[in-house]
Chains A and B, each alone.
Chain A
């Protein structure tokens, strides 16, 4: 029983990270109908830039803040100079484009920092916490807190503010939004900025728990996207729930089946889901279906 709870606890932590990635995907997708396959790289950059800045003797907090700003800027640059440039490209071209961006960022990261893994100090103590036999690292609490705060802020932004309404308007009907004086390009840029910032935060909070290296973005990105699909692409709440479920299933699989197969389990779930219900657990729209 303790074992089970332990696995669930571990799953919740990694699920939280997937949730941030998934929501990042959806924020951009809803506004611009682009799936940013470089989303995972935002996390990698968040962690790596922080490590690098601390290496330059900057204090932890400042390093983290600068890293978040840097990744946000990268998100904006990406939208402004690349994505916006190819507005009318076919979906297949957009996939190739964002895959290319992600490959490029990964290559540059490996060029600057090498292929070694780096560790980041935990934000507070190294002492694990214990709840009735279930141990979790203190950092995990930070991760979950960060996840919940980000999700809450995003929800508040989208549902309760004028800005959120504008973003929603762009996703529902870009044409009408433009007529109302809302610039879809600006909103899309904002979406990339939000995804960059949240991704960077996620990258920073997980770095102490595992290690960070130039290539962690790929797996995190794919799993986050899996969660986004599982939750029904376009539905942030569904994606967040699906992300936690995915984290738990994966953790249980790693614990009870085989730890080597951990990543395969997540993908099997994804493929299985695509077969049974491509519109996702909570999705009403069937976006993936084609043909007649």
Chain B
């Protein structure tokens, strides 16, 4: 623990404290469930951040990997009676395989092509889940998916289980960021030519980022299935993929902390909108889509780097200014002294 604090600094300490304290500050079961959903989303968005922010790719089909993970574990445990732990492992592997195959296939694609291919993949998966009725239960979905037997499976223990996974994913990604592989990702993002000339196999590393993001989304999906106990294909479509995208973009694509903070922010905004729609009777339709769409547009127009990098750069500038002022002061002080001496 001490070592971790030393390595990641105060930020990590604050994160751990907030994460542990939250269910007691908000002892309501409802807020615990909100916390759980935010945690599940964070696992997906941290993975998406690796693909978008680090490797500079885009995926508009992240909800599909989430869905594949959810259904993999749900089907294995409900239909074949396997333990949820086995199901969860499979829920990482199967979406990882899908990501590998898709990633291999679209390895040469960039920009709009990649966006469209992943979007299309998302649609195919959602349609596939809906149509494969004997296994997935089709549009009406699945019920009585077993819980993960973790300290009685109460809301509170699920909260800690899921945030423990979030923490692992976070640490894994932060380690990665500051390693040979993470630097290779970031190098590719800035200049593929330079990365190649340094000996980085660009398409292999892009694929790796894609597979890892698919596996993270899958694990989250598996946990989601066991937490909810019921599943239907509806949450695994474009709407959710865009929500994930918004979370990553608002927090700042290039920052893993940004993905986490963006997820929490959007999570609370969503909750706020639900509360708002209960207060204001005229509110109909997907108000959250207006907000997400608006956020995406405004961020790209006015703060393309996202919240966390922006705050960081403002802070650093302030620090630099302070240091400069201090230096000037010291210098003038010196001058005064010298004057006094002469």
**Physical interaction between A and B:** yes
Task: List residues of A whose CB falls within 8 A of some B CB.
Answer: 35, 37, 82, 85-86, 89, 91-97, 99-115, 214, 218-219, 222, 225-226, 229, 233, 258, 260-261, 263-264, 267-268, 270-271, 274-275, 278, 287-292
Contact of A105 (CB < 8 Å), options: B109, B124, B283, B293: B293
Could you tell me the distance in whole angstroms from the C-beta of B188 to the nearest C-beta in chain A?
Answer: 9
Contact of A267 (CB < 8 Å), options: B124, B242, B286: B124
B116 touches A100 (CB 8 A): no
Which of the candidate stretches B91-99, B153-161, B294-302 sits at the interface with the other chain?
B294-302
Contact of A99 (CB < 8 Å), options: B242, B283, B285: B242
> Which residues on A sit within 8 Å (CB–CB) of B286?
106-107, 110-111, 115
> Which residues on B sit within 8 Å (CB–CB) of A287?
113
Give complex CA distance A264, B123 in Å. Answer: 7
Give complex CA distance A138, B120 in Å. Answer: 32
B119 touches A103 (CB 8 A): no
A115 touches B192 (CB 8 A): no
Could you tell me the distance in whole angstroms from the C-beta of A45 to the nearest C-beta in chain B?
Answer: 14
> Which residues on B sit within 8 Å (CB–CB) of A99?
60, 115, 242, 245, 296
> Which residues on B sit within 8 Å (CB–CB) of A94?
300
> Which residues on B sit within 8 Å (CB–CB) of A114?
284-285
The answer to whether the Cβ of B162 comes within 8 Å of any Cβ in the partner chain is no
B293 touches A96 (CB 8 A): no
A91 touches B202 (CB 8 A): no
> Which residues on B sit within 8 Å (CB–CB) of A219?
123
> Which residues on B sit within 8 Å (CB–CB) of A226?
116, 120
Give complex CA distance A133, B58 in Å. Answer: 48
Interface SS of B by simple majority: helix
Q: Knowing that A35-B112, A106-B286, A275-B106 are A-B contacts, what are 18 other residue pairs whose CB atoms are under 8 Å apart, sorted by A's residue number?
A: A82-B297, A82-B301, A86-B300, A91-B112, A96-B58, A99-B242, A100-B293, A100-B299, A103-B242, A103-B289, A103-B292, A105-B293, A107-B290, A111-B285, A115-B285, A271-B120, A274-B117, A288-B111
The answer to whether the Cβ of B249 comes within 8 Å of any Cβ in the partner chain is yes
Contact of B294 (CB < 8 Å), options: A95, A102, A104, A292: A104
Interface SS of A by simple majority: helix
Give complex CA distance A38, B238 in Å. Answer: 14
B202 touches A271 (CB 8 A): no
Give complex CA distance A85, B56 in Å. Answer: 22
The answer to whether the Cβ of B203 comes within 8 Å of any Cβ in the partner chain is yes
Given the known inter-chain contacts A111-B285, A264-B128, A274-B113, please indicate yes or no for A100 contacting B120, CB distance below 8 A.
no
Could you tell me the distance in whole angstroms from the C-beta of A263 to the nearest C-beta in chain B?
Answer: 6
> Which residues on A sit within 8 Å (CB–CB) of B202?
291-292
> Which residues on B sit within 8 Å (CB–CB) of A225?
116
Give complex CA distance A114, B284 in Å. Answer: 6
Could you tell me the distance in whole angstroms from the C-beta of B298 to the nearest C-beta in chain A?
Answer: 8
Q: Interface digits, B247-267 against A, CB 8 Å rule (1 contact, 0 not)? A: 001000000000000000000
Q: Can you identify 26 A-B contacts, CB atoms within 8 angstroms? A: A35-B112, A82-B297, A86-B300, A96-B58, A100-B295, A100-B299, A101-B293, A103-B292, A104-B294, A104-B296, A106-B293, A107-B293, A110-B284, A110-B286, A233-B112, A263-B127, A268-B124, A271-B105, A274-B106, A278-B108, A288-B112, A289-B108, A289-B109, A290-B110, A290-B111, A292-B192
Q: Interface digits, B37-61 against A, CB 8 Å rule (1 contact, 0 not)? A: 0000000000000001000101010
The answer to whether the Cβ of B304 comes within 8 Å of any Cβ in the partner chain is yes
The answer to whether the Cβ of B291 comes within 8 Å of any Cβ in the partner chain is yes
Tell me the chain B residues, 299-329 only, with Cβ under 8 Å from chain A: 299-301, 304
Closest A residue, CB atoms, query B125: A264
Contact of A264 (CB < 8 Å), options: B113, B124, B196: B124
Give complex CA distance A106, B292 in Å. Answer: 11
A290 touches B109 (CB 8 A): yes
Closest B residue, CB atoms, query A267: B120
B111 touches A92 (CB 8 A): yes
B284 touches A260 (CB 8 A): no
B106 touches A97 (CB 8 A): no
Contact of A107 (CB < 8 Å), options: B60, B108, B109, B285: B285
Q: Interface digits, B178-195 against A, CB 8 Å rule (1 contact, 0 not)? A: 000000000000001100
Give complex CA distance A192, B242 in Å. Answer: 24
A288 touches B108 (CB 8 A): yes
> Which residues on B sit within 8 Å (CB–CB) of A97?
296-297, 300-301
Residue of B242, B249, B296 with most chain A CB atoms under a 10 A cut-off: B296
Which 10 residue pairs spanning A and B have beta carbons closest together? A100-B296, A104-B293, A110-B285, A103-B293, A107-B289, A107-B290, A267-B120, A288-B113, A290-B110, A91-B111
Give complex CA distance A292, B285 in Å. Answer: 46
A278 touches B113 (CB 8 A): yes
Could you tell me the distance in whole angstroms from the C-beta of B56 to the nearest C-beta in chain A?
Answer: 7
The answer to whether the Cβ of B228 comes within 8 Å of any Cβ in the partner chain is no
> Which residues on A sit within 8 Å (CB–CB) of B283?
111
> Which residues on B sit within 8 Å (CB–CB) of A82?
297, 301
